[in-house]
Amino acid sequence: MADKICPHAEECGGCAYAAVPYEEQLATKQKLVDKLLSPFAKVSPIIRAEQPLYYRNKAHRVLSVGRNGRISSGIYAEGTHRVIPVRECRIEDRTCQLILTDLAALVQDFRLPVYHEDRRTGLIRHFLVRRGAATGEVMAVIVTASAVFPSRKNFVKALLELHPEITTVIQNVNSRKTNMVLGDRDIVLYGKGWIEDRLCGHTFRISPNSFYQVNPAQTEILYNTAVRMAGLTGRETVIDAYCGIGTIGICAAPYAKEVTGIELNENAVKDARQNAARNWLTNIRFAAGDAGEWMVRQAADGAHADVVFLDPPRAGTTPEFVQACAALAPERIVYISCNPETLARDLALYQQIGYQAKEIQPVEMFAFTGHVETVCALSKLSEAKHHISVQVDMDELDVTAAESKATYEEIQAWVKEKYGFHVTHLNIAKTKRKCGIIERQNYNLPKSENSRSPEMPKEKEEAIIEAFRHFQMI
Ligand code: SAH
């Protein structure tokens, strides 16, 4: 076994493969993806990273005070709130790390009080630094427990003298007792309040709270792969679900008729809209909200899409999203996943509604860590093939019978026939949740359950429950 790349590896837990030679890491990741995904389609060899070290464009430190009163900046030991001082991280951008070290030294020099998690006293909690690899723009975020930040002007001045490469400084106020690094309020202390970076020939604005892929060189490969798999000709109506700041949709827009991005984080949606304008694109728009609920509404409105991109968080997507995809009937679906386990689970759901994986491409995005990114292209099967595949899958996969008993269309038709009124996909999805049909399968559900959709009449709910009984779903 090779030497560990990092002395903190065990406590930090970020780099599961700290002691594993890079070629071996790739082989292990390949094996994992093969095992989970080869039942769906042939898995291509993983695209390796040319730079497996110092690739992360974002770095974070938490502050703590030692017994001798010295301030150290570090990271939480895995699964705890104990801070391990960190001298160097081998996968984070070097400039970001130099800035983090100097930020901690400045806190000492300025005698600013460090936040104490248990006592909930003090001011300075975390630092976050992000750098646009292509533009060189740098954002430094100082997370404080309250908005009052004594001598902040001089602090920022001193920081900029040390690091003139910093293009914006933001104070983020996080007064809650929480594991989340960032709070809701940003106070711009210097510059624009965001940075820009370039990917695949487009410029993107990134706010402190917005998701942005951490490995820019590999992200270009990932996005180019995803857009190639979509097979765009300029005539397609495209959905970019879980779109973040709109990166994938914006990369696809020049080759499509129109694109709609959907994203939960409202700050990211604001960035996405700015990004569309910044890149002179007029055929892309964005909606804020839960991707599953939005898709169900689209399906209920009778919308159609030619291509659906989805890039959900590690938990994967939801059965209601997949069901709604069936109604929108895209020719192709491109699933970008950072967790092959939930990808395998969701590909099984897609197979049930008649979508077959055609190409599976792992892409190295997270060298030295245990994470694997995969892009998967799915195509709609013809009706006949769809039927066969569903029957095979039902036997092979241990899917919850309830989910598979009746489609949304069958429930709609049954209610119409029996009660004479129309129920929407959204009505059915909501009732499924109420009856525990969806929750039982342990999918992540949106927090703001009823925030956007109107109340459903009682008679509709009762009719749908009757349909569930009829189809023996409950
Ligand atoms: N495609 C983007 C973002 C991928 S990360 C990129 O490549 O940069 C996943 C995104 O899904 C995050 O921006 C997160 O805020 C968003 N998200 C999480 N849960 C969601 C939900 N239920 N509905 C819509 N978006 C969600």
The reply to whether ligand 1 has any atom less than 6 angstroms from the CB of 14 is no
pLDDT at 383: 56
Residues recognised as catalytic: 338
Nearest Cα residue to atom 16 of ligand 1: 242
Q: Whose CA is nearest to atom 19 of ligand 1?
A: 264
Candidates 200, 224, 242, 284: which one to mutate for ligand 1, based on the most atoms within 8 Å of Cβ? 242
**Enclosing domain of residue 112:** 58-199
The alpha carbon of 265 and the centre of ligand 1 are apart by a number of angstroms equal to: 8
- Looking at the fold, whether 351 and 281 belong to one and the same domain comes out as yes
- For residue 212, how far is its CA from the centre of ligand 1 (angstroms)? 10
In a domain? residue 209: no
Q: What is the structure's pLDDT at 416?
A: 85
Together in a domain, 421 and 352: no
Residue 70 lies in a domain: yes
Answer yes or no: is 109 within a domain.
yes
Tell whether 298 and 242 lie within a shared domain.
yes
Q: What local confidence, expressed as pLDDT, does residue 442 receive?
A: 33
Atom 21, ligand 1: which residue's CA is nearest? 290
**The pLDDT of residue 438 is above 90:** no
Q: Is residue 308 one of the residues assigned to a domain?
A: yes
- Residue 222 alpha carbon, nearest atom of ligand 1: 7
Output the average pLDDT for the chain.
Answer: 89
Asked whether residue 258 falls in the same domain as residue 123, the answer is no
pLDDT of residue 344 exceeding 70: yes
Alpha-carbon distance of 292 to 327, in angstroms, equals 13
At 306-322, the pLDDT tens digits run 999 999 999 999 999 99
Claim to verify: residue 254 and residue 375 sit in the same structural domain: yes
Rounded mean pLDDT, 264-274: 96
Per-residue pLDDT tens over the stretch 279-302:
999 999 999 999 999 999 999 999
Supply the residue whose CA is at minimum distance from atom 1 of ligand 1. Answer: 243
| 338 and 424 fall within a common domain | no
Q: Does residue 219 share a domain with residue 336?
A: yes
pLDDT on residue 468? 85
Residues 221 and 315 in one domain: yes
- The pLDDT of residue 339: 97
Q: Does ligand 1 come within 6 angstroms of the Cβ of 252?
A: no
Q: How confident is the model at residue 459 (pLDDT cuts 50, 70, 90)?
A: confident
Q: What pLDDT digit, counting tens, does each position of 178-208 carry?
A: 888 999 999 999 999 999 999 999 999 999 9
Say what percent of the chain tops pLDDT 70. Answer: 91
Q: Cβ(211) to ligand 1 under 6 A?
A: yes
Q: Is residue 337 part of a domain?
A: yes
Q: What is the 266 CA–ligand 1 centroid distance (Å)?
A: 11
Whether 264 is in the pocket of ligand 1, judged by its Cβ within 6 Å, is yes
pLDDT digits (tens, 9 = 90+) for 107-163: 999 999 999 988 999 999 999 999 999 999 999 999 999 999 999 999 999 999 999
| Residue of 353, 346, 349, 241 whose CA lies nearest to 293 | 241
Say if strands 71-76 and 58-65 run parallel, antiparallel, or are unpaired: antiparallel
Q: Measured from the CB, is residue 248 less than 6 Å from ligand 1? A: yes
The string of pLDDT tens digits covering residues 378-406 is 999 975 454 444 433 433 333 333 445 67
* CATH number of the domain encompassing residue 69: 2.40.50.1070
Distance 90 CA to ligand 1 centre (A): 27
Task: Summarize pLDDT for 8-61 with one digit per residue, the tens.
Answer: 888 888 999 999 999 999 999 999 999 999 999 999 999 999 999 999 999 999
State the pLDDT at residue 11.
Answer: 87
The strands making up 307-310's β-sheet, listed across from edge to edge, are 284-288, 258-263, 237-241, 307-310, 332-337, 373-380, 355-363
The pLDDT value recorded for residue 50 is 96
Number of structural domains found in the chain: 3
CATH of the domain at 258: 3.40.50.150
Ligand 1 contacts CB of residue 268 (under 6 A):
yes
Same domain for 339 and 461: no
The pTM of this model reads 0.81
* CB of 204 sitting under 6 A from ligand 1: no
Based on the domain organization, do 42 and 65 belong to the same domain? no
Determine the residue of 263, 374, 452 to mutate for testing ligand 1's pocket, defined as the one with the most ligand atoms within 8 A of the Cβ atom: 263
Q: Ligand 1 centroid vs 74 CA: distance in angstroms?
A: 28
- Say yes or no to pLDDT of 362 above 80: yes
Q: Is residue 3 part of a domain?
A: no
Q: Among 346, 368, 396, where does a domain finish?
A: 396
Q: List all residues 6 or more positions away from 455 whose beta carbon is below 8 Å from its beta carbon.
A: none
Considering 199, 224, 244, which residue would you say is the last residue of a domain? 199
Quick check: 436 pLDDT over 80? Answer: no
- 251 in a domain, yes or no? yes
- Nearest residue (by CA) to ligand 1, atom 6, is 244
Separation CA 428–CA 406 (nearest Å): 11
Residue 214 CA to ligand 1 centre (angstroms): 14
Residue at which a domain ends, from 199, 228, 252: 199
261 in ligand 1 pocket by Cβ < 6 Å?
no
Distance 338 CA to ligand 1 centre (A): 11
Residue 217: pLDDT over 50: yes
Same domain, 13 and 77: no
Give yes or no for residue 103 CB within 6 A of ligand 1: no
d(C-alpha 462, C-alpha 376), whole Å: 39
Same domain, 121 and 72: yes
Q: Token pair of 247, please?
A: 């990166």
Any ligand 1 atom below 6 A from CB of 240: no
Residue 267 lies in a domain: yes
Any atom of ligand 1 within 6 Å of the Cβ of 446:
yes
